[in-house]
Amino acid sequence: MRLLPILLLIISCITVEAADEYELQYPLGLKRMPIPETNELTAAKIELGKQLYFDPRLSRDDTVSCASCHDPKKGWSNGDHFATGVRGQRGGRSAPTIINSGYSYFQFWDGRAIMLEGQALGPIQNPIEMDLTLEECVAKLNAIEGYRKQFQAVFGTDVDSVGMAKAIASFERTVLSGNAPHDKFKAGDEKALSAAAQRGSKLFFGKANCSACHAGPNFSDFAFHNIGVGMDKSEPDVGRFSETQMLGDRGSFKTPTLREIARTAPYMHDGSVKTLEDVVEYYDKGGFANPQLDEELFPLKLTPEQKADLVTFLKEGLSSEDYPDIEPPTLPK
């Protein structure tokens, strides 16, 4: 009889844990995402991360949230050349989309952070973006009762930076895009792509050589390449070289996903290319020549019709009707 209360407690704990388990639903075209064993997904953790993601109180003047630069309404980017932070300060790189970012081991354009947990707290501490030290941010959130209660429920602690990173990363892993016309066409639906998009697809995976870097389910090899963008400047952004100090990485940046690419203009790491038509023109010319230019770049000599078909594929084929247009949550008080 003495064992009964203990057994009931164990059963209760198992029931609560099972009820909070969260299984990602992968849309057509995507593979299973690697989830760190130290940060398994739960519904409560994801909801907490969602609140943190959309909360401008994570910035010094309560004006900038993660969603300010990675806005669901703008392709989970910001629709501008550069990211803009507190006091209207502007960075020197565009805001990469969050879509399917959970598949990427290296984060940021230059790969300076590892996985989403390593990325999540960077913008908070950046003086141009959100301009708070982690200590200040933790103290600020601990003063909000709603956050304290949620952190206790999810992590068993008051607000801390480790829990913040895990929660934000968990939410970002749910921002998925698949089930696009390209995926349906590959699955056997011959009507999923227009004739022009089908021709563009053949170019993408053939003569245009796009898939040399934009490969796999996410249309990205998640590697770093120098395609010549910005290398004509007197002091170019050296990209990955700043992290590795390897000459071959000079001017290299991480290959972005092309899913939902029609929503994320302007393009390139510096937002210097306005439209997809301009992107195709840039690649057709073979990029900008420099000593570290990727060997996969060379003049394509596409016809105007082929360029138009390629753009049609990018716009039509990789835009999903299930786009993750997530609305901001009610924030804790």
Where residue 240 sits, what CATH number does that domain have? Answer: 1.10.760.10
Residues 234 and 280 in one domain: yes
CB atoms within 10 A of CB 114: 12
Residues 167 and 218 in one domain: no
pLDDT tens by residue, 195-248: 999 999 999 999 999 999 999 999 999 999 999 999 999 999 999 999 999 999
In a domain, 325, yes or no: no
pLDDT of amino acid 2? 45
The catalytic site residues sit at 129
In a domain, 277, yes or no: yes
In a domain, 326, yes or no: no
Q: What are phi and psi of 42, to 5 degrees?
A: -135, 155
Residues 148 and 32 in one domain: yes
pLDDT tens by residue, 140-190: 999 999 999 999 999 999 999 999 999 999 999 999 999 999 999 999 999
In a domain, 236, yes or no: yes
Residues 160 and 201 in one domain: no
pLDDT of amino acid 318? 98
pLDDT at 136 over 80: yes
pLDDT of amino acid 20? 78
Look at 11-15, 43-47, 69-73, 251-255 and tell me which has the smallest mean pLDDT: 11-15
CA dihedral 155, 161, 120, 80 (to 10 degrees): 120
Residues 233 and 156 in one domain: no
Q: What is the mean pLDDT of the chain?
A: 94
pLDDT of amino acid 8? 36
User: Residue 49 carries which side chain, given as an amino acid letter?
Assistant: G
Number of domains forming the structure of the chain: 2
In a domain, 83, yes or no: yes
Residues 233 and 185 in one domain: yes
pLDDT of amino acid 214? 98
pLDDT of amino acid 4? 40
pLDDT at 5 over 60: no
Percent of the chain with pLDDT over 90: 93
Residues 83 and 205 in one domain: no
Distance CA 270, CA 130 (A): 20
Residues 9 and 101 in one domain: yes
User: Average pLDDT, stretch 290-316?
Assistant: 97
pLDDT of amino acid 215? 97
Three-class secondary structure of residue 229 per DSSP: coil
In a domain, 19, yes or no: yes
Residues 42 and 188 in one domain: no
In a domain, 331, yes or no: no
In a domain, 15, yes or no: yes
Q: Using the 3D structure, point to which of 137, 172, 207 is the last residue of a domain.
A: 172
pLDDT of amino acid 174? 98
User: Average pLDDT, stretch 116-129?
Assistant: 97
pLDDT tens by residue, 276-292: 999 999 999 999 999 99
134: Cβ contacts below 8 Å, ≥ 6 apart: 121, 124, 125, 161
Residues 163 and 193 in one domain: no
119: confidence class by pLDDT, cuts 50, 70, 90: very high
Asked if residues 193 and 316 have their Cβ atoms less than 8 Å apart, the reply is: yes
Residues 53 and 163 in one domain: yes
Structural domain containing residue 108:
3-172
Residues 263 and 207 in one domain: yes
pLDDT of amino acid 12? 37
Write down the pTM of the prediction: 0.92
21: confidence class by pLDDT, cuts 50, 70, 90: confident
Q: Is the dihedral of CA 51, 57, 62, 68 positive or negative?
A: negative
